[in-house]
Chain A
Amino acid sequence: MLSRTADSLFWVARYTERAGNVARGLGVASRMAAVSARLGAEPDEWRSLLTASGGDADFYRKYEAPTADLVVTWLIFDPDNASGILSCIEAARRNARAVRTALTVDMWEALNDTWNHLRALPPEAMEGERLADFLGWVRERVTLFNGAAHDTMLRNEAWRFVHLGTMLERADNTARLLDVKHHLLTAEAEGAVDYVQWQAVLRSVSALRSYQWIYRDRLNPHRIAELMILRPELPRSLMACFAEVAETLEAIALGQGGRRGECHRLAGTLAAQLRYGRIETILAEGLHAYLTAMIERVADLGAEIDAFYIRP
């Protein structure tokens, strides 16, 4: 397939997934803010969300302090934020439009309808009481797009690059969400605030129930870290995402008669390390350092995929 097409498909998926992840993060943060306002930690929520979104430097260039209103505006419709929901959907659609023929009608319509609806929406429809509904709607639209891709795409290279984009972005997001809360998962103290925070971390990857199904026990920070990093059953865990990334790259290589490069080696190494990793080792070496390294390796892998398939 054309390199440019593969590139656009990869980014359609990444931007769409990112829009959904920002909506998840915002949903949990506003819920947390409502809880911790009583506990006096509200600004921390918005600050850590901003950090997780990866665009805090840009934010501070424009604003002084991360108040609720400013962060919500920034993460939803500020045109200066390339990772805001509106910017992401726009970028996803722009990429989709550039490769219309490589998408199925269902995928295109899911994305195009989202964009048409979003750009006609007045700012009031995303604020205050209506924020939660709006964020729910964004997540629904992303789920619809992912479902359309999953249900209607031929299992050829086009599908693989879409899937690769989704999984790499998802891994990046899980690592970032976990990293901004890393202190909660290593600290000894267990108070009411921490408990709510742990719930929030799990909720942000739709894993609160999953935790219960897997561990059948009360929340425990080490297990939360293990679930989100190493458990293959959780579809948003780093392990699950990297297994998909490595498998997908392998499928692309097999389709091309076994042509492989640095991206395959890197993805395989990461998947194997996660597959055989222990949470005790990770925690002993420091969760923050581990997650920071992980975020960097996601970026490296993205660059290697680009160098091998897109711009050799």
Chain B
Amino acid sequence: MGAASSVSQASIAAFDEMRAEDGVRAAYAEIDRWLRTTPREQLDAKRREAELLFRRIGITFAVYGEGGDPERLIPFDIIPRIIARAEWERLARGLRQRVRALNAFLADVYGRQEIIRGGRIPAPLVLGNEGYRPEMVGMLPPGGVYTHVAGIDMVRTGPDAFYVLEDNCRTPSGVSYMLENREAMLRLFPKLCAQHRVAPVSRYPEELLETLKAVAPARAGAHPCVVLLTPGPYNSAYYEHCFLADEMGIEVVEGADLCVDDDVVCMRTTAGPKRVDVIYRRIDDEFLDPKAFRADSLVGVPGLMAAYRAGNVALANAPGAGIADDKAIYPYVPEMVRFYLGEEPLLANVPTFLCDREEDRKYVLGNLDKLVVKLAKGSGGYGMMIGPHATRDVREEFRARILARPGDYIAQPTLALSTCPTVVEQGIAPRHVDLRPFILSGKEVRIVPGGLTRVAIREGSLVVNSSQGGGTKDTWILEDDGPGEAGFQSQSQSMGG
């Protein structure tokens, strides 16, 4: 990178999931044929149809305070991203293992703290962390589960090279896109779907409900009352909250719909107060209970934490689960796998430099043009710098910021994220993607085969976050046991004659 003053969008040689060096990869054979034989106008027409569909159903995410239409669509790319069953199985095994280790870590840091006492992770990193909730110390949530719904962001750099980019253990969103994208594909391209044997994702809501029921307090019996707690219609993921609750057949409640009396949580109904057993909360820890956390929270439920501690209600995910997905804790996850499970980690981490460590910081400051620098507490792609794409000025600004507050920053090598064919203005072109599968932990760990594929629509861009102009794709896990069975011929009226 010699002439570093200009913004370089030089594309990094990336693994293309459809085209390997020796031609089209097997899983993409049908897609390749479809793309070659479908006229551009037809794809464009389908693309417009898809947008209309999403607008009509109201699948929007809300962006307030930026002007313009507050209800925006996330761009949907109509070319599916294909993952072969064998690749998926390997991934899924690794995901299960990782989430088991994350839950074990959470139980430990709020319990006996053996990993700290064993010297495997520095105490201040955990106990001094913003994500650490001392309120959780000494209480065991029902079933011992903390992160009931985890979203693990995966990136790929080669045929067999998958990395975990980050863990999301608090309230990961995006699963409604996994489900609605599939519905849209089935409606727009029934034939293409039928030609593939795509693993269905539609049972996710049922699995989620099972997971939530499994952690209900014992007193609740066979039919616990499960609700979804939302901050309300102004939250960017409100559509998803309603969608999931509807699919599960449970109520979507806001803080004001719940009240706590004598450590028992009830919702206000037309027939009077009704007792609640499990709360799938999509509100951040800080806002859950103004009596326990931020006193100015208007969306929380006063007294909720006391009811939780009394064992009268289950919260999913548990407060304090965020300590496990902190970017400064992330480098230690492989160690957690070894420590708690006695296994070698199946999923690799991206090498990560903690700017708080002197040695790491020295390396980071000397290689700013090669690294991605992120806020340790950030999310949504805000406040990050992609070294190879940044101007000298931006790099210098980050140098100053790192020196001022080293603990706030981490750095990772710039990965050549894999690409998938994507419909863009100029035609069909490769664009970088990532993958967020959703892992459910209740009595057992469950994963629906699929996930949310996010795609960076801008050429050369490595940022896939929807808040930064990223789009989504349907993700197809292909069953590879040969062609589908022919259906029975349907009966028709016989014509006499």
Contacts and interface: CB of A to CB of B under 8 A. Distances in A.
Same assembly: yes
Given A4-B254, A116-B55, A309 B270 contact: yes
A3 B246 contact: no
A199 B58 CA distance: 42
Nearest to A157: B270
B270 A6 contact: yes
B455 to A, nearest CB: 26
A97 interface: yes
A237 to B, nearest CB: 28
A294 interface: no
Contacts of B256: 4
A209 interface: no
A256 interface: yes
Given A97-B233, A100-B246, 10 more contacts: A2-B268, A2-B269, A6-B270, A97-B58, A100-B239, A100-B242, A101-B246, A101-B252, A256-B271, A259-B271
21 contacts: A1-B251, A2-B257, A2-B270, A3-B257, A3-B269, A98-B232, A98-B233, A100-B58, A100-B242, A100-B243, A100-B246, A105-B57, A108-B58, A109-B56, A109-B57, A112-B56, A116-B55, A157-B270, A161-B270, A256-B270, A312-B272
B418 to A, nearest CB: 36
Interface in A73-119: 94, 97-98, 100-101, 105, 108-109, 112-113, 116
Nearest to A94: B233
B95 interface: no
Interface in A96-153: 97-98, 100-101, 105, 108-109, 112-113, 116
Given A98-B233, A100-B246, A101-B246, A4 B257 contact: yes
A295 interface: no
Nearest to A100: B242
Nearest to A305: B270
A309 B271 CA distance: 7
For the complex of A and B, 9 pairs with smallest distance between CB atoms: A101-B246, A100-B242, A309-B270, A256-B271, A3-B268, A6-B270, A101-B242, A98-B233, A4-B257
Which of A2, A3, A6: most chain B Cβ within 10 A? A2
Interface of A: 1-6, 94, 97-98, 100-101, 105, 108-109, 112-113, 116, 157, 161, 252, 256, 259, 309-310, 312
B253 interface: yes
Q: Is the interface of A mostly helix, strand, loop or mixed?
A: helix
Nearest to A97: B233
Nearest to A310: B270
Contacts of A97: 58, 233
Interface in B238-269: 239, 242-243, 245-246, 251-254, 256-257, 267-269
Q: Is the interface of B mostly helix, strand, loop or mixed?
A: mixed
Interface of B: 55-58, 232-233, 239, 242-243, 245-246, 251-254, 256-257, 267-272
Nearest to B239: A100
B70 to A, nearest CB: 12
A47 B243 CA distance: 46
A3 B270 contact: yes
A112 B56 CA distance: 7
Nearest to B232: A98
Contacts of A98: 232-233
Contacts of A312: 272
Contacts, number: 53
B271 A2 contact: no
Contacts of B58: 97, 100, 108, 112
Contacts of B254: 4
B153 to A, nearest CB: 28
Contacts of A259: 271-272
A221 to B, nearest CB: 42
Contacts of B251: 1-2, 5
B293 to A, nearest CB: 23
Contacts of B267: 2
Contacts of A252: 270
Contact of B270 (A1, A101, A108, A116): A1
Contacts of A5: 251
Which of B239, B245, B256, B272: most chain A Cβ within 10 A? B272
A5 B257 CA distance: 10
Nearest to A252: B270
Nearest to B245: A101
A3 B106 CA distance: 37
Nearest to B248: A101
B45 to A, nearest CB: 20
A288 B56 CA distance: 46
A113 B57 CA distance: 10
B277 to A, nearest CB: 16
Nearest to A96: B58
A162 to B, nearest CB: 13
B252 to A, nearest CB: 6
Contacts of B232: 98
Contacts of A310: 270
B56 A113 contact: yes
Given A116-B55, A252-B270, A309-B270, A2 B242 contact: no
Contacts of B239: 100
A306 to B, nearest CB: 11
Contacts of B272: 259, 312
Contact of A4 (B55, B242, B268): B268
B233 A1 contact: no
Contacts of B245: 101
A1 B251 CA distance: 8
A2 B253 contact: yes
A258 to B, nearest CB: 11
Nearest to B56: A109
Nearest to B258: A2
B51 to A, nearest CB: 13
A121 to B, nearest CB: 16
Contacts of B253: 2
Contacts of A108: 58
A112 B269 CA distance: 27
Nearest to A3: B268
A62 B268 CA distance: 41
A259 B256 CA distance: 24
Contacts of B246: 100-101
Contacts of A157: 270
Nearest to B246: A101
Contacts of A94: 233
A128 to B, nearest CB: 29
Contacts of B55: 116
B35 to A, nearest CB: 32
A157 B271 CA distance: 10
B265 to A, nearest CB: 14
A277 B253 CA distance: 44
A106 B282 CA distance: 27
A4 B256 CA distance: 9
A247 B438 CA distance: 47
A113 to B, nearest CB: 7
